[in-house]
A and B are shown apart, each in its own frame.
Chain A
Amino acid sequence: MSEEFVQAVASARAMGQRLSIVGAGSKSGLTGNESSAEGRLLSTVEHTGIVDYRPDELVVTVRSGTPLKELNQALVREGQMLGFEPPEYRGLGTVGGAVAAGIAGPGRPWRGGARDAVLGVRMINGQAERLNFGGQVMKNVAGFDVSRLQAGAYGMLGLLLEVSLKVLPLPQAEQTLALEVSAEDAHARMLEWALKPYPITATAWLDGVLHVRLSGAEAAVNATAMIIGGQVRPDNGFWQALRDHSLSFFRSGTIACRQLAPASPLLPEDELIEWNGARRWSRANSGTGGYRVFGAGYAQHRCRDGGGDPAIAEYQARIKAAFDPDNLFNPELTDADVAA
Chain B
Amino acid sequence: MSEPDNQQLDNPYGRRDVAPEALARALKKLRARLPKHCLLTEPRALKPFESDGLTAIREVPWLVALPETAEQVAEVLAVCREEGVPVVPRGAGTGLSGGARPLSDGVLLGLSRLNQILEIDLANSAARVQPGVRNLAISEAVAEHGLYYAPDPSSQIACSIGGNVAENAGGVHCLKYGLTVNNVLGLKVLTLAGDELMIGGPGGDPQSLDLLALFCGSEGLLGVVTEVWVRLLPTPPERRVLLAAFPTVEGAAESVAAIIGRGLIPAGLEMMDTPAIRAAEAFVQAGYPTDAGAILLCELDGVPAEVESDVAMVVRVFQEFGAGDVQIASSAEEQARLWLGRKAAFPAVGRLSPDYYCMDGTIPRSRVAEVLGQISALSEQYGLAVANVFHAGDGNLHPLILYDANEQFGADILAACVAAGGTVTGEHGVGIEKLDAMCGQFSQAELEQFFRLRSAFDPDGLMNPGKAIPTLTRCSEIGGMHVHEGRLPFPNLERF
Contact = CB atoms under 8 A, between A and B. Distances in A.
Interface in B189-241: 191, 195-199, 201-211, 213-214, 216-218, 221-222, 234-237
A305 B167 CA distance: 28
Contacts, number: 273
A136 interface: yes
Given A129-B449, A304-B204, A223 B214 contact: no
Contacts of A263: 121, 123-124
Contact of A138 (B191, B234, B394): B394
A56 B123 contact: no
B424 A142 contact: yes
Given A145-B168, A169-B263, A140 B362 contact: yes
Contacts of A168: 265
Contact of B308 (A145, A219, A224): A219
B441 interface: yes
A278 B211 contact: no
Given A56-B365, A315-B457, A323-B449, A143 B438 contact: yes
B104 interface: no
A138 B395 contact: yes
A143 B450 contact: yes
Interface string B436-458: 00100111011001101111110
B453 A144 contact: yes
Contact of A142 (B175, B425, B449): B425
A198 interface: yes
Interface in B90-130: 121-126
A75 B261 CA distance: 12
Interface string B409-428: 00000000000011111111
Give the 5 A-B residue pairs with the shortest CB-CB distance, closest first.
A219-B305, A169-B263, A56-B261, A263-B123, A139-B426
Contact of B168 (A59, A141, A170, A320): A141
A148 interface: yes
Contact of A306 (B207, B210, B216, B434): B207
A195 B178 contact: no
Contacts of A56: 257-258, 260-261, 365-366
Contact of A135 (B122, B146, B423): B423
Interface in B303-342: 303, 305-306, 308-310
A156 interface: yes
Interface residues of A, number: 88
Interface in A273-309: 275, 278-279, 302, 304-307, 309
Interface in A106-158: 108, 112-113, 115-116, 125, 127, 129-133, 135-146, 148-149, 151-154, 156-157
Nearest to B414: A142
19 contacts: A58-B260, A135-B422, A135-B423, A136-B364, A137-B422, A137-B423, A141-B426, A142-B425, A142-B442, A143-B430, A143-B438, A197-B302, A218-B309, A219-B309, A307-B207, A315-B456, A319-B456, A320-B209, A323-B453
B163 interface: no
B213 A262 contact: no
B206 A305 contact: yes
A108 B305 CA distance: 25
Nearest to B265: A169
A316 B124 contact: no
Interface string B133-174: 000000000000111000000000000000000011010001
A251 interface: no
Contacts of B210: 102, 115, 148-149, 151-153
Interface centre among A154, A278, A322, by most B CB within 10 Å?
A322
Contact of A262 (B124, B182, B264, B425): B124
Nearest to A325: B452
Contacts of A80: 263
Nearest to B180: A141
A191 B123 CA distance: 6
A259 interface: yes
A223 B305 contact: yes
